């Protein structure tokens, strides 16, 4: 098994727990974390002893606050921006959906932007009552790059998805459960217990039956999903040709309100 710098792996009785381990930056997602997570998912898929995968965040503040915004400053062109989005989608989001085993998101805190997209890609989402969800990318002049808008619309409906994407508003775990974004909300102190209860139930099922059930359900929604999501990737990349995106990212890093000019 690989050794990792940005995640922690724990394996016990058929369950592999992957913890995003960048708590000082609210488990923000950078290219190293994308690579580590992708390799961990590959390891889990190949390991016959692993029946269920759980993904969570280190600390009690965040599952993941999304992409590491500081890394956006390194994207010098639309081509680089598209490659950044494509890499995250194919190595992590699509991998979670294609992996043959159930993946549970154990959302302990903030799940914003790419963090929300990561949770939405999982098969089951259980959140603490302290968790917060949202796609606030529009507040810095960019858009979700991993299919977040498309997947959000499929989960909560087109009008609610537009409201969340247009405003960048954040919602509580209770509201997320109400609109169908997540499966269940539990008190923070009961979160791991509840997730392990579900994981233990799943690991006793037929692995082949679970695999086929996952593939069948995903396929029922996936006739055009790859094309749709690649349009999300293109939209994310196109924003990096705009002055608004540069101003939004710069304002975020400078901790001030952005002044968008529609250019």
User: Which residues partner with 56 through β-bridges?
Assistant: 19, 106
Report pLDDT digits (tens) over 10-33: 999 999 999 999 999 999 999 899
Residue 68 pLDDT greater than 70, yes or no: yes
Q: Which two tokens stand for residue 8?
A: 């922690």
Question: Alpha-carbon distance 195 to 16, whole Å?
Answer: 12
Report pLDDT digits (tens) over 48-59: 999 999 999 999
Per-residue pLDDT, 1? 54
Report pLDDT digits (tens) over 129-143: 999 999 998 888 887
Mapped onto helix, strand or coil, the DSSP state of residue 181 is coil
**Closest to 188 (Cα-Cα) out of 45, 13, 56:** 56
pLDDT band at 212 (very low <50, low <70, confident <90, very high): very high
User: Which residues partner with 73 through β-bridges?
Assistant: none
How far is C-alpha 226 from the geometric centre of its chain's CA atoms? Answer: 16
Instruction: Single out the catalytic residue among 90, 97, 137, 192.
Output: 137
pLDDT exceeding 70 applies to what percent of the chain? 85
Q: Is 137 a catalytic residue?
A: yes
First to last CA, the chain: 48
Q: Which two tokens stand for residue 30?
A: 């950078």
66 — alpha (psi -120 to 50), left (phi > 0) or beta?
Answer: left
26 — alpha (psi -120 to 50), left (phi > 0) or beta?
Answer: left
Whether residue 104 contacts residue 195, with contact meaning beta carbons closer than 8 Å, is answered with yes
Average pLDDT value for residue range 6-11? 98
Going from the N-terminus, what domains does the chain have, and what CATH number goes with each?
Answer: 7-189 (3.90.226.10)
Going by C-beta distance under 8 Å and a sequence separation of 6 or more, which residues neighbour residue 79? 237
Average pLDDT value for residue range 234-242? 62
Instruction: Single out the catalytic residue among 90, 97, 117, 177.
Output: 117
Average pLDDT value for residue range 145-159? 89
User: Which residues partner with 12 through β-bridges?
Assistant: 15
Q: Which two tokens stand for residue 209?
A: 């039956």
Per-residue pLDDT, 222? 64
Whether residue 63 contacts residue 111, with contact meaning beta carbons closer than 8 Å, is answered with yes
On average, the pLDDT of the chain sits at 88
Per-residue pLDDT, 107? 99
User: Which is higher by pLDDT, 192 or 216?
Assistant: 192
Residue 121 pLDDT greater than 90, yes or no: yes
Residue 94 pLDDT greater than 60, yes or no: yes
Whether residue 93 contacts residue 230, with contact meaning beta carbons closer than 8 Å, is answered with no
Q: Is 80 a catalytic residue?
A: no
Average pLDDT value for residue range 29-45? 95
Whether residue 120 contacts residue 155, with contact meaning beta carbons closer than 8 Å, is answered with yes
Sequential DSSP letters for 93-106: IHHHHHSSS-EEEE
Per-residue pLDDT, 145? 75
Report H helices in the chain.
Answer: 31-46, 69-72, 78-88, 94-98, 114-121, 148-156, 158-167, 173-178, 191-203, 207-221, 225-239, 243-253
């Amino acid at each position: 098994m690989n050794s990792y710098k940005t995640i922690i792996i724990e394996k016990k009785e058929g369950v592999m727990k992957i913890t995003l381990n960048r708590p000082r930056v609210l488990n923000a997602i950078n290219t190293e974390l994308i690579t580590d997570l992708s390799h961990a998912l590959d390891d889990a898929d190949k390991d016959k002893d692993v029946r269920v995968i759980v993904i969570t965040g280190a600390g009690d503040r965040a599952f993941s606050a999304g992409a590491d915004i500081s890394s956006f400053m390194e994207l010098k062109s639309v081509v680089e921006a598209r490659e950044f989005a494509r890499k995250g989608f194919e190595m992590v989001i699509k991998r979670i959906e294609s992996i043959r085993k159930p993946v549970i998101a154990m959302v302990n805190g903030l799940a914003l932007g790419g963090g929300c997209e990561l949770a939405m890609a999982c098969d089951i989402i259980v959140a603490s009552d302290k968790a917060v969800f949202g796609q606030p990318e529009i507040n810095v002049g960019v858009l979700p790059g991993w299919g977040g808008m498309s997947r959000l619309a499929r989960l909560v409906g087109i009008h609610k998805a537009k409201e969340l994407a247009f405003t960048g508003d954040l919602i509580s775990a209770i509201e997320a459960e109400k609109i169908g974004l997540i499966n269940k909300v539990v008190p923070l102190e009961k979160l791991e217990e509840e997730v392990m209860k579900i994981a233990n139930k799943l690991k006793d099922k037929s692995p082949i039956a679970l695999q086929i059930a996952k593939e069948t359900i995903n396929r029922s929604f996936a006739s055009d999903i790859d094309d749709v999501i690649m349009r999300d990737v293109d939209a994310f990349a196109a924003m990096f040709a705009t002055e608004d995106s540069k101003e939004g990212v710069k304002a975020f890093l400078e901790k001030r309100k952005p002044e968008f000019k529609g250019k």
